[in-house]
Amino acid sequence: MATTASQQHRSLLSTDDLTDAELRAVIDRGTEYSAGRAGRTPALAGDIVGVYFRMTSTRTRTAFSAGALRLGAQIIAYGPDDLQINTGESVEDTGRVFARMVDVIVARTGRPQRELAAWAGTGGLSVVNAMTAEEHPTQALTDLTTLKGRFGQVEGLRVVYVGEGNNTAAALALTLPRFPGVEFELRTPPGFGLTEEIRARAEEHARTSGASFVERHDMDALPRDTDVFYTTRWQTTGTSKPDPHWRDVFAPFQVTSGLWEHSPKAVFMHDLPAHRGDEVTADVLDGPMSIALDQAENKMHSAMAVLEWCRGGESSA
């Protein structure tokens, strides 16, 4: 078995797997790495991290690979056609084998989360959800790390998300409302909003913390003095839209410089890749208000914090 008695195997399938204290600890640790205050620590020395991506990835795959190496781990990289799942082996059997040979699996499947839950259920393996159909939790942790580094705190921020209620939006909805005083508003195209389950969980987080959470399907009367405007690409990785006229529905939700009229100090965030002229105009993405590249770099810093948490290191509360 890959496990040693002194090490733990925590899994991150959803940000709801983190207690409030753990959520803050992971964000704080990611911020320390980002600011260069954490130093080099071999927290994963002797560990083997499997990196399995069924879908394309630039930032997340590089972030977890580089982060694991910086923490002293060795890596096994799996492509979309490398596992015997493709020849009929069950997801459960694959997880049992992983649990006997590696310590952590970072996986992007684009499929329902239950597949990763089966792997995590082995008990001898840490599983990190690097994006499933329902949620992109490591993106939200990256985003909160970026916000903490930029503003000094997450509490009390006003954040407006514009675009599809996809897995990135879902992850933000499950994290931002956990911070007191946050005002988080989503403007999603009609028919492309959050699922009822995610919305209900986000509303419960807001009630518990005293945050504000709203989802609307128009671009009228945007909040003033917003701190952050956030968007994602209109065509989520690995998906397609059944409505042939979907672009007409999305067109009013493009992020343009006009959004800054009543929020001149707001920063712009994007999880990338971006498509200039679709979800955002070039003058916004490439302009002084954009911190999208800082956000991208923070993927690695946040990944290191997540890996530490999984293995019971500094990021654990």
Distance CA 235, CA 226 (A): 26
278 shares a domain with 198: yes
45 shares a domain with 151: no
Q: φ, ψ for residue 266 (rounded to 5)?
A: -65, 150
Residue 306 Cα to chain centre, angstroms: 11
Distance CA 294, CA 37 (A): 17
Distance CA 191, CA 246 (A): 10
pTM of the model: 0.94
Residue 3 resides in a domain: no
Domain of residue 76 covers: 15-135+299-310
Cβ burial of 225 (10 Å; 0-12, 13-18, 19+) is exposed
Owner of token pair 């020849």: 87
271 shares a domain with 235: yes
Distance CA 103, CA 316 (A): 17
* Start-to-end Cα distance in the chain: 26
Distance CA 68, CA 164 (A): 31
CATH of the domain at 108: 3.40.50.1370
pLDDT, residue 1, reads 36
Mean pLDDT by 10 residues, the chain (317 residues): 55 97 98 92 95 96 98 96 94 95 95 92 94 96 98 98 97 98 98 97 98 98 97 83 91 98 98 97 98 98 98 75
143 shares a domain with 117: no
226 shares a domain with 177: yes
pLDDT, residue 106, reads 98
> Containing H/E element for 172?
helix 167-173
Count of helix runs (H) and strand runs (E) in the chain? 10, 9
212 shares a domain with 254: yes
Distance CA 201, CA 206 (A): 9
pLDDT, residue 2, reads 43
Q: Are 72 and 42 in contact (CB under 8 A)?
A: yes
Residue 7 resides in a domain: no
Q: Are 33 and 305 in contact (CB under 8 A)?
A: yes
265 shares a domain with 160: yes
Q: φ, ψ for residue 3 (rounded to 5)?
A: -80, 145
Preceding omega of 177 cis (within 30 degrees of 0): no
Positive or negative, the Cα torsion across 239, 243, 248, 250? negative
What domain count does the chain have?
2
The pairing of beta strand 212-216 with beta strand 48-53: unpaired
188 shares a domain with 247: yes
Owner of token pair 């999305």: 250
Distance CA 315, CA 28 (A): 8
Distance CA 206, CA 42 (A): 37
